[in-house]
Amino acid sequence: MGENSGREGQMQSLRAVAQEEKGPPSLERRQSVDPSVVEVSPRSSLRLVGAQFNWSLNIWTIIPGYRRGSRYVTAVLSSSLPGLALLLPPATLAALAAAWLQEDCPGLNYTALVTGAAPSQAALWAKSPGVLAGRPFFDAVFAQLNCEVSWSLPEGSKLVPVAKVAEVRGPAHCLLLGERVALNTLARCSGVASAAAAAVEAARGTGWTGRVAGTRKTTPGFRLVEKYGLLVGGADSHRYDLGGLLMVKDNHVVAAGGVEKAVQGARRAANFTLKVEVECSSLQEAVEAAQAGADLVLLDNFRPEELHLTAAALKARFPSVGVEASGGITLGNLPQFCGPHIDVISLGMLTQAAQALDFSLKLFAEGTTPAPHTRRS
């Protein structure tokens, strides 16, 4: 009972602070930014550092001022999907495809003796609704096997089953050697893109203009595919790895001996290209982080009402600090977390819980009409 009364007291204090707040510009004024002046910083590019892929494409490096102009960046991403493939270095794609094929067939491929090497063709069919994503990875797999892919639908297409998506041509044993690997990558990437698109649609339906983002909760060895899927779906990829953003989490705070010490340590470690974000569980921690020099504050596992009151109180004192909401957010409750003082909403479920789409690859005889189901006479 004491804990509940303390919680309610904190909520009343937050409400009082929020009522006194004059607040930042209204949503309407924030939306009036001219898209012609939105700039993309040099850090929004991809860079290859040794063998590590550093993805810096996120809200904090795309535009200055966090929320300002974010709707225009979304429009650029969604209207130029073919360009997203340029983010993927060819050498990285080839290395990933080779590793996936090696995993699936590290030794003898006995079924190659069954199929032979005669020139063959197969049709790719989409059998579940969603967003098509992952064409570059599908292409990379078959490029390793000297097969050619011709696409019927562009990246980011809305899939209405049953739809023919592409055709693949090459030696029969090569088509079948790449079949499962290529389908796995396409199904998984499309599933992430579909979840991301649903989340963005839910957020935009409230009139909110902030950024929906993924997290670093990705499948080991498959992060590039899933981060790319987020972008195709219209969401933000968030930091690609530990080097993309200096994020101070709760365990870092404990290890450092407090929020202020943790932020000071982060500031010393960060170079001029890195921003510092601090995970906070209360308004007191958020204020302490902002005072210590945090660029962004992550309000983790807050209930919606408490989240908005805390964010309003923080923005009243530190209007330039970005606010990210995360923890316990799903497609069902996402609209409750959208608000004028929230700049980013991140959801781990976009990659952790995304349902893979259903695709199939069916061989067909030259001169016949492809069908989604194999026909045998």
Residues 206 and 180 reside in one and the same domain: no
Report the pLDDT value the prediction gives residue 83, as an integer from 0 to 100.
Answer: 87
Report the pLDDT value the prediction gives residue 11, as an integer from 0 to 100.
Answer: 62
Residues 129 and 268 reside in one and the same domain: no
Residues 185 and 246 reside in one and the same domain: no
- Please state the pTM of the whole predicted model: 0.79
Residues 56 and 99 reside in one and the same domain: no
- Flag whether 20 is in a domain: no
Q: Is the distance from CB of 149 to CB of 175 less than 8 angstroms?
A: no
Q: Is the pLDDT of residue 128 over 50?
A: yes
Q: What percent of the chain has pLDDT over 70?
A: 77
Work out the average pLDDT over 8-33: 47
Across all residues in the chain, what is the average pLDDT? 83
Residues 221 and 344 reside in one and the same domain: yes
- Flag whether 272 is in a domain: yes
- Flag whether 21 is in a domain: no
Residue 217 is among the residues annotated as catalytic for this protein: yes
Parent domain of 115: 85-194+356-364
User: What's the total number of domains in the chain?
Assistant: 2
Q: Smallest Cα–Cα separation from 128: which of 164, 166, 159? A: 159
Q: Is the pLDDT of residue 20 over 90?
A: no
Residue 61 pLDDT level (bands cut at 50, 70, 90): very low
Report the pLDDT value the prediction gives residue 126, as an integer from 0 to 100.
Answer: 98
Instruction: For residue 2, give the H/E element and its range.
Output: helix 2-20
CATH number of the domain residue 154 falls in = 3.90.1170.20
- Flag whether 31 is in a domain: yes
Residues 182 and 89 reside in one and the same domain: yes
Alpha-carbon separation of residue 125 from 80, 128, 146, 167, 373 (angstroms): 24, 9, 21, 9, 9
Annotated catalytic residue within 22, 127, 217, 249: 217
Residues 243 and 330 reside in one and the same domain: yes
Q: Is the pLDDT of residue 333 over 80?
A: yes
Question: Tokens standing for 86?
Answer: 């340029």
Omega before 162 within 30 of 0, i.e. cis: yes
Report the pLDDT value the prediction gives residue 300, as an integer from 0 to 100.
Answer: 96
CATH number of the domain residue 221 falls in = 3.20.20.70
What does 45-113 look like in DSSP terms, one character per residue? SEEEETTEEEE--SHHHHSTTTTTTHHHHHHHHHH-HHHHGGGS-HHHHHHHHHHHHHHH-SS--TTHH
Work out the average pLDDT over 172-195: 98
Q: Which amino acid appears at position 308 of this protein?
A: H
- Flag whether 101 is in a domain: yes
Alpha-carbon separation of residue 48 from 87, 89, 218, 266, 270 (angstroms): 11, 9, 20, 24, 19
Residues 103 and 250 reside in one and the same domain: no
Residues 190 and 200 reside in one and the same domain: no
Work out the average pLDDT over 181-201: 98
Cα separation of the two ends of the chain = 74
Find the range with the poorest average confidence among 73-82, 189-198, 224-233: 73-82
Report the pLDDT value the prediction gives residue 78, as an integer from 0 to 100.
Answer: 41
Residues 148 and 189 reside in one and the same domain: yes
| Tens digit of each residue's pLDDT (9 = 90 or more) over 337-375 | 999 999 999 999 999 999 999 999 999 998 888 888 765
Q: Is the pLDDT of residue 6 over 60?
A: no
Please, how many CA atoms are within 13 Å of residue 230, restricted to the half-sphere of its CB?
Answer: 30
| Pairwise CA distance, residues 277 & 122, whole Å | 48
Residues 204 and 322 reside in one and the same domain: yes
Report the pLDDT value the prediction gives residue 57, as an integer from 0 to 100.
Answer: 37
Residues 163 and 95 reside in one and the same domain: yes
| Tens digit of each residue's pLDDT (9 = 90 or more) over 264-303 | 999 999 888 899 999 999 999 999 999 999 999 999 999 9
Report the pLDDT value the prediction gives residue 272, as an integer from 0 to 100.
Answer: 86
Q: Is the pLDDT of residue 41 over 90?
A: no
